[in-house]
Amino acid sequence: MIDFRLGDEYEALRKTVQDFAQNEVAPVIGGFYEREEFPYDLVAGMGRMGLFGLPFPEEFGGMGGDYFALCLALEELARVDSSVAITLEAGVSLGAMPIYRFGSDEQKRRWLPALCAGEALGAFGLTEPGGGSDAGATRTTARLDDGGGDWVINGSKSFITNSGTDITRLVTVTAVTGQKPDGRKEISAIIVPSGTPGFTVAPKYSKVGWNASDTHELSFDDCRVPAGNLLGERGRGYAQFLSILDEGRIAIAALSVGLAQGCVDECLRYVNEREAFGSKIGAYQAIQFKIADMETRAHTARLAYYQAAAKMLRGEPFKKEAAIAKLVSSNAAMDNARDATQVFGGYGFMNEFPVGRFYRDAKILEIGEGTSEVQRMLIARELGLPS
C-alpha cells in the first residue's frame, strides 16, 4: 500500500528545521542577502543541529539518516531562504557525498568528520567556462608528474558553490587524465585542498539571486596535489559526477518545493491584511485562484520528489524520476515566485519582503545541476528515444 505520511523521525526533523528557519534564519537573512554576505553563524547553527551530517553514518561523524531526511531539511529551509538551503545542499550532496560514495577509507576519515559537522565545506567543480551541460567537454587537465607522486592540474572551473568561504576545505574537480582506448577523454575526479599553491579562487560573482551563498570561478595553474588525492577509480570521474548529479536533482527539487511553498506561506499572510476597493484582497477570486494554483504546484512537485527519493532509497533506478522531479519543481518555483510577486503588487518588488528574494532566487533552479533542457533530454533518453 502507498502511505505518504512521514514517519515520526522525519516529522520531528522537519519540525526542528522549520523552527530553526523561522526563528533563526528569517529575522536576519534579508540583511545578509542585501550585503551579499555569507551567513557563517547560521551555517554553524545548522552544523550544530547535525544537518550537514544527515545522510552519513555515525562512524564518519554523520547522523545516520538518509537522503530523504536531507531533502526534508532543504525544503523547510528554502521555505524561508534559498541561499542558506543551497549552502547545505551543495555542502552535503556535492561537497561531502562524492567523498563518501567514492573515497577510500582514509579519505573518508580525513575529510568527512569536519564536513559532517558543518565546520568545513567541500565544493564540487564540474562546470567550466566553456560549458556546463556538456560536462564531458572538460578541458581541465591533470597529469601525473615524472615520479608519479603528484597530479599537476591546469584549467579552470566556473560558478562553483561554497568554494571560497573561510571554512572551505576542499574542492573535488573533474579533469582529463588521459585518453581511453576508444579515443574518448579519460576523466577523473581529484580532491584539491583549499590553499594548495597554484589553486586560485577568484573574487565572488555578482549574482541575480542566491546572494548570501558563495560562488566563485576557480583556476588551477600547475597546481600539485598528491597522487593519492584521486577520488575513486582513475577514468571514472565523469560517471561518478553524473551519479552524484542524479541524486542532487532530488535535493534541488526539494529545495524548489520549499521556495514554491514559501510563496504560498507569504501570500496567505499578506492577502488577509492588504485591502483594496474596501475588501481584503484575499476575498477576490482572482487572488484566491492564484494562490490555489500555487498550492497545487507545490503539492504536485512535492509528490514528484518524494517518489523519486523513495525509489532511490529502495535502491531502484531513479534517473527519470529525479529528472521529472527537478523539472516540475523548478517550474513550480518559478511560476509561484512570479505569481507571489504579483499578489504583493509594488511591495513584491521591494527587497524588504521575502517574495522579492524568492523571485530572484527561483530562476537558477531551472539552470543549476542540469538545466530544464537537460532534464528533458534525460527523460527522453530514459524513454528510449535516440540521444
C-alpha cell at position 211: 546572494
Residue 370 burial (CB count, 10 A): 25
Q: Binding ligand FAD by CB under 6 A: which of 107, 177, 211, 215?
A: 215
**In angstroms, what is the minimal distance from the CB of 362 to ligand FAD?**
12
**What is the CB-side half-sphere exposure of residue 200 using CA atoms within 13 A?**
10
Q: Choose one: 22-30, 290-298, 314-322, 367-375; the region binding ligand FAD (CB under 6 A).
A: 367-375
201 part of the interface to ligand FAD, by CB under 6 A: no
Annotated active-site residue 369? The verdict is yes
* 164 close to 266: Cβ distance less than 8 angstroms: no
The residue at minimum Cβ distance from ligand FAD is 132
Nearest to 56 by CA among 112, 120, 131: 112
* Site size with ligand FAD, rule: CB under 6 A: 24
16 part of the interface to ligand FAD, by CB under 6 A: no
173 part of the interface to ligand FAD, by CB under 6 A: no
Residue number, 67 or 159, with CB nearest to ligand FAD: 159
Contacts of 123 (CB under 8 A, 6+ apart): 90, 94, 95, 160, 161, 162, 163, 168, 170, 171, 172
127 part of the interface to ligand FAD, by CB under 6 A: yes
C-alpha cell at position 178: 588521459
Q: Binding ligand FAD by CB under 6 A: which of 32, 56, 60, 159?
A: 159
Residue number, 160 or 263, with CB nearest to ligand FAD: 160
Helices 8-20 and 67-78: angle between axes, nearest 10 degrees: 30
Please state whether beta strands 185-193 and 141-144 pair in parallel, antiparallel, or not at all (unpaired): unpaired
Rounded to whole angstroms, the Cα distance separating 9 from 14 reads 9
Q: Choose one: 16-24, 159-167, 248-256, 346-354; the region binding ligand FAD (CB under 6 A).
A: 159-167
Catalytic pick among 128, 217, 247, 369: 369
Nearest to 115 by CA among 190, 192, 167, 174: 167
Q: Binding ligand FAD by CB under 6 A: which of 69, 92, 121, 364?
A: 364
**In angstroms, what is the minimal distance from the CB of 325 to ligand FAD?**
17
Contacts of 240 (CB under 8 A, 6+ apart): 98, 101, 102, 189, 231, 232
Q: Binding ligand FAD by CB under 6 A: which of 21, 90, 230, 337?
A: 90
Query: Taking CB under 6 A as the criterion, which residues in 288-307 touch ligand FAD?
Result: none
126 part of the interface to ligand FAD, by CB under 6 A: yes
Q: Which residues are catalytic?
A: 369
Residues at the interface with ligand FAD (CB under 6 A): 90, 94, 123-127, 131-133, 159-161, 207, 210, 215, 364, 367-371, 373-374
